[in-house]
Structure 1
């Protein structure tokens, strides 16, 4: 039985940077065209199953030429990619997880108040990430956040968060449990939708890449592709 192939593509969330849609449509089109070379059989997106009907409705409107894509990477990238291959739908694989107990802001606030040296350590890694990032174009942004060295540096931040708190107050660990639950659920949802020989593009925020790759790879059920190979140069 032929293993499914998974292409994890980390992306920025376009709603947070609408200028990309307003001024870099040619860049978005190049990304879509480049991903076509992977010849996906299914496309998974970072949306929860709770909005599956709305997602289907919008995708059908897009195929009929009745939808003006919004500031959303699903509508700007996943829809045209799926439509090119005449897919019937795109697959929502995100999980709704309460990330507020504690929130990430509370984790950073604890570190700032009680562990200032650790707070500065974390800030130092975040500064290094900013130095690595290249947002001169949309394609450069994607190349950065999908690069192995950037993903590794991002994971350093998360591992430092495990030290926030003390034995009685595992503040950082409790937040990371929520984060791991979400990515475990996403990996499980991807696994459930995969069939023999499938070629699946998974479009997610870049900060999910490390754990999703690890979880899917650890299962031994998939061939995990190199994402930079399928992004425009």
Structure 2
């Protein structure tokens, strides 16, 4: 009887999910919204990651020409939405920034949301740039996610330090690649499947930074997935209807999750960003 009840609930759940999807304009028939995800290291060097890539000044004249070439190629995707890594709770602030930029009252910072997001939206004369990030409070206590503290308290500080050095070495390699690449080629690299696999693997290491009773590493990775699911949900809300075409610009760590959720959900047809990013010329470094 329990098996029958369980199967019935599962079938009911699927039916409800499909009904909700149709109500939201999500299509499983192939007539889906189109999504192009541009993943990148953060142009403005905020220094908030475990390993931080040092990005060469993108405001330099030669880099500005390369960014303009990227924007022109992305415009060929003909998006009717441009979405960026900006908290949905602060959409009004983003609206003002975009309006000021279009009116000549705002000078773009190095941040990729400015350099790529605002530029692209203005190039296409779009009415707004969509904020789709989630920066709200996570459930539980901060200590529930403190895998670094757990490692140090359990005699594994050396292991954590080695992990951190490896992460920084990878970030330094990304920085070196940027110095030798055009902006377009650098962004193409972040969309390469080999890079994506290399970038995802450390999350599974962090997920083992705990034990069977207390695993803050797995908690942290789970919350990372939860944040990306919320970003996907925000994208689906603003741009998930058949006929929508969206370029979303986010940190490279988010990009593979957003692509996977967008495709596997049936909400979006996800295109390869490399098809819309310029290649070359190679820079001297």
| Fold-level similarity (TM above 0.5) | yes
Contact 1:129 1:153 in 2 (8 A): no
Distance 1:225 1:102, change over 3 A: farther
Residue 10 of structure 1 is aligned with which of 23, 39, 42? 39
Q: How does 1:214-229 map to 2 (within 5 A)?
A: 214-229=260-275
Contact 1:125 1:156 in 2 (8 A): no
Q: Does 1:155 align with 2:184?
A: no
User: What is the DSSP-based 3-state SS (H/G/I as helix, E as strand, rest coil) of the residue aligned with 1:135?
Assistant: helix
The structure whose Rg is larger is: 2
Pairwise CA distance, 1:57:
1.1
- 2:147 aligns with 107
Contact 2:71 2:120 in 1 (8 A): yes
Q: How does 1:85-164 map to 2 (within 5 A)?
A: 85-98=124-137, 101-102=142-143, 106-108=146-148, 110-111=150-151, 114-115=155-156, 119=160, 122=163, 126=167, 129-130=170-171, 133=174, 134-136=177-179, 137=181, 138-164=183-209
Q: Does 1:181 align with 2:219?
A: no
Paired residue total? 232
- 1:21 aligns with 59
The farther-off stretch of 93-102 and 36-45 is 93-102
Structure 1 gaps, min length 5: none
- 2:115 aligns with 76
Contact 2:35 2:269 in 1 (8 A): yes
Contact 1:165 1:171 in 2 (8 A): yes
**Structure 1, residues 58-93: CA drift from partner, whole Å, max 9, x if none?**
111111222211222122111121112111001100
Pairwise CA distance, 1:124:
7.9
Alignment RMSD, CA only?
Answer: 2.5
Distance 1:109 1:22, change over 3 A: farther
Residue 244 of structure 2 is aligned with which of 192, 198, 206? 198
**Structure 1, residues 136-155: CA drift from partner, whole Å, max 9, x if none?**
24334322222111111111
Tell me the TM-score normalised to structure 2 length: 0.73
Q: State the alpha-carbon separation in 2 of the partners of residues 185 and 30 from structure 1.
A: 31
